[in-house]
Amino acid sequence: MIMAMPNISFLTLADLCDRWGVKPPHIGALALDQKLVLSIGLSGVRAEVGEWQKVDIDEWQRLPEGWQYLTGIFDLKRNDAWSIIKHGPRVIDSVMPVEPDGYIEIRRQEDLPEFVVAPDDLLIRREEVERFEANNAPAPRDVSAPSLSRGGPGAPPKYDWESFWIETCRRLHDDGPPSTQKEMVLNLLGWFDDKGAAVPDESTVKKKVSKLWKALGLASQSVA
Across 36-93, the runs of DSSP E, i.e. the strands, are 39-56, 59-75, 90-91
* β pairing state of 10-12 and 39-56: unpaired
Quote the DSSP letter at residue 60.
E
* pTM (2 d.p.): 0.57
- The answer to whether the CB of 114 falls within 8 A of the CB of 107 is no
Q: How far is CA 63 from CA 74, 129, 175, 189, in A?
A: 21, 34, 41, 49
Q: CA-to-CA distance for 128 and 144, rounded, in angstroms? A: 33
Q: Per-10-residue mean pLDDT for the chain, 224 residues long?
A: 64 92 91 92 88 78 85 91 92 86 82 84 93 74 45 61 85 84 86 79 86 75 54
